[in-house]
Structure 1
Amino acid sequence: MKVLHVITGLAAGGAEVQLRLLLQHTRHDADVVALYNAGSVAEQLRADGVRVTDLGMRSNTQVGAVLRLARLVRRGRYDVVHTHLFRAGLYGRLAARLARVPVVVATEHSLLDDQLEGRPATRAVRTLYLAAERLGQRTVAVSAAVRDNLLRWGVAADRVVTVPNGLDVDALAFDPAARTAVRADLGIPADAQVVGGVGRLHPGKRFDLLLDALAPTLGPHRHLLVVGEGEQREALTALARDRGVAPWVHLPGERPVADHLSAMDVLASPSRYETFGLAVLEALANGLPVVYRRCPALDELGERVPGAHQATDDDLRPLVDEVLGRPAQPRLLPAELRRLDVRTVAARVDDVYESPSRGRRRGR
């Protein structure tokens, strides 16, 4: 089968990195279209041999972009269009319908409570979302929490299938050489404690709360390392300066996640709004202990994962202190996470494509 993935943008982020992982393990031929901002993940996909097209949209009112995308879909003779993120879901599903693509699938990465992609979901947004959803056959929810929200919004249960995000467990394994190299590059002493964070520098991730809570403990022997890029970089930099801890706060931007996880001693995830909690799972796969506020993926595993410690805002720092005060343990993959191996997850997504297509053939 030929599959076209349509995604809003390709800067580094959870949905974008997850798309790249899926394409590395799919059993189908796949191309990618970004509506705009074909950033670092686009470069990585091209290096993997994936054809990536940047539609170059400049605003959400470019109706002509739908027609250009529909022409691209017709020329490619795709069997499946798979959309990711809200804007791509609107434009991609409409273009797929215009091009008469037999199977249209969307993955919902970021619907939680009444937040969509970290912003309040207004009545107009919900109306658009539900109208676009009817143009496809299936919506993939990355967690049961996302599925529950889709059903609450009014999406029919038989149109939703839950497939979790995948982990490249081999690539995430702890690497002592990477630990040494990353610390040397950032100027972090080999014997210092490193509290880490991974994610977009966005208010919803609440890295400002983490920095503020840890500030009294930061110094030559304890550093904070947050891997990611985003709009809050300047605010976090200013906060570190105001608290007098700037020399021990590191914001290196978009960097290889596994290498930087290896450089950490504990990962802290203070975000209240997570649809899956990918950073928490990646850290656990690296053998790191984790202190976190919310991680639906862990809740849905149905068993306790060693090293995972759920916190409130009030005990975030005390739990970090407690974890760092314990004797170091071997950095091993918890057996409970093997079921999230990306090879298994990619096969389940491929099955989603084939199931509606078989149904359509029987109905002809």
Structure 2
Amino acid sequence: MKVLHVITGLAAGGAEQQLRLLLRYLPKRLQCDVVTLENPGTVANGLRADGVRVFDLGMQGNRDLAALPRLTGLIRYGGYDVVHCHLYRACVYGRIAARLAGVRAIVATEHSLLAQTLEGRRITPGVRALYLATERLGRSTVAVSEAVAERLVLWGVPQGRVEIIPNGVDRARYIQPAPTRAATRLAIRAELGLPHDAFVIGGLGRMVRGKRYDVLIDALAMMPSAPSATRTPWLLLVGEGESRPALQRRAKEAGVAERVVFTGERDDVPELFTAMDALGAPSTLETFGLSLIEALAAGLPVCWSSGPALAELPADAAPGAFWMPADPTDYAAQLSALSSSRLTPLAQPEAVRHYDIARLASDICGLYERIGPPRAAPPAQRSASTPMSTSEDRLAVKKVCTDVRP
């Protein structure tokens, strides 16, 4: 079975990294390619290093309609059995292109749907109408959490078309023998200029306002520091984004700039976790919260404010996770308590086993097999012109375009 994954961009981000991880664990009997509409960033390089074929459509913005025939041609001449779309723009263009190319086995994963925003963009009547209209062209929409599934149904997506398959984590990737972990910890701290005996609070994710990294900076300023503190607290922020300059100014104004390290985008997250003593996650707008699970997999305690990944599990599934409001005082108090205790890596809790990527990749494969053709034709019987769109496919696309016309 041939599967084409269509995604808006491949810069470092949660959905992009999750796609790379998924492709590592899908069965070898699936032949998977990836096409990015734009911005073939660091994740594209990683995919190619993994042996995945990556196409760059070179799209020039949301309204570059010339990208549609290019994507349609790629799907048609690639002879794909299933098209799997990720992120809003790729879902809109990918579903239409797949139907025009005659592919009906179309699935999309909805990674980030909130009450007022979709993947960070404000939800307008036009955005919602286009999303719902093109959703009808597919066979199934995957929600990464129960919260996202509920919002999709409230939007008007039929419940029978929504399937919950959460994001996953490579459990083994975060486990290191004690000597290896200690050596990695020292090396990463030396590289980043972190004192070997500091209490390092980590923050992981895009530098955008909704992540509330300002809470961690303010909490750092409230925490006791040398000489009275047992371990001087530092903050390590991993990621990049539009809010970085504002966060750097805030750290300077709070008088803690010398104890805040910004790494920018990195692809060695498991190694960076060894340099941390706890993860702070004060975001209140998470639709999953994969970094919470990654930190727990690495043996770190987690202070968090939002994340269906933990909120939808029993409390005892993650004993090292501490929920609190996104308030600097609360974070300072809990992190100070952790800094005064003897920290050794925690055992991976049940929450990490629940989100094992191997199990979840099997669920995705099962979905492909349910919606896709019963059996792919032998290569000798396939031609460069198959599959071709039918009049029914073209009419379906025409109806969508009519429904969302201003």
1:313 aligns with 2:326: yes
Which structure 2 segments of 5+ residues have no match? 227-231, 377-406
When residues 358 and 51 of structure 1 are mapped into structure 2, their CA distance, relative to the original with a 3 A threshold, is closer
Q: CA deviation at 1:115?
A: 1.7
- Structure 2 counterpart of 1:202: 208
Amino acid at match of 1:41: V
Q: Determine helix, strand or coil for the equivalent of 1:328.
A: coil
TM-score of the aligned structures, taking structure 1 as reference length: 0.96
| 1:78 is the counterpart of 2:80 | yes
Pairs within 5 Å for 1:62-77: 62-77=64-79
SS across alignment from 2:173: coil
**CA shift at 1:280, angstroms?**
0.7
Q: 1:281 aligns with which of 293, 315, 330?
A: 293
Relative contact order: is structure 1 or structure 2 higher (C-alpha 8 Å, sep ≥ 6)? 2
- For the residues of structure 1 that align with 2:250 and 2:364, how far apart are their CA atoms? 42
1:80-134 superposed Cα distances (whole Å, 9 cap, x missing partner) = 1000000000011110010011310000000022221123211111111101111
Contact 1:225 1:250 in 2 (8 A): yes
1:251 maps to 2:266:
no
**Cα pair distance change 1:200/1:135, threshold 3 Å:** same
The alignment status of 1:342 with 2:353, answered yes or no, reads no
Deviations 1:291-346 (A, max 9, x none): 00011011222342110000013312212222222222333211342121111111
Q: Which residue of 2 aligns with 1:240?
A: 251
Amino acid at match of 2:66: G
Unaligned 5+ segments in structure 1 are none
Aligned residue for 1:346, secondary structure, equals helix
Quick check: 83-92 or 326-335, which moved more?
326-335
Q: For residues 161 and 89 of structure 1, what CA distance do their matches in structure 2 show?
A: 16
1:118-197 equivalences in 2 (<5 Å): 118-174=120-176, 175-197=181-203
Contact in 2 for aligned 1:35/1:55 (Cα 8 Å): yes
Q: For 1:167, what is the secondary structure of its paired residue?
A: coil
Answer yes or no: is the 8 Å Cα contact 1:218–1:245 preserved in 2.
no
1:267 alignment counterpart: 279
1:345 counterpart letter in structure 2:
L
Matching residue of 2:390: none
Alignment length (residue pairs):
361
Deviation at 1:356, TM superposition (A): 1.5
1:225 aligns with 2:227: no
The offset of 1:359, in angstroms, is: 7.9
Deviation at 1:56, TM superposition (A): 1.0
1:46-79 deviations in Å (ceiling 9; x for gaps) = 0001111111111111111011000011111000
Question: 2: distance between equivalents of 1:303 and 1:312?
Answer: 17
Partner deviation per Cα, 1:216-259 (whole Å, 9 max, x = no partner): 33756211001111111111122222222221100111121111
Q: Which has the larger radius of gyration?
A: 2
Question: 1:94 aligned to 2:120?
Answer: no
Indicate the residue corresponding to 1:2 in structure 2.
Answer: 2
Q: Distance in 1 between matches of 2:73 and 2:64?
A: 15
Quote the offset at 1:26 in angstroms: 0.7
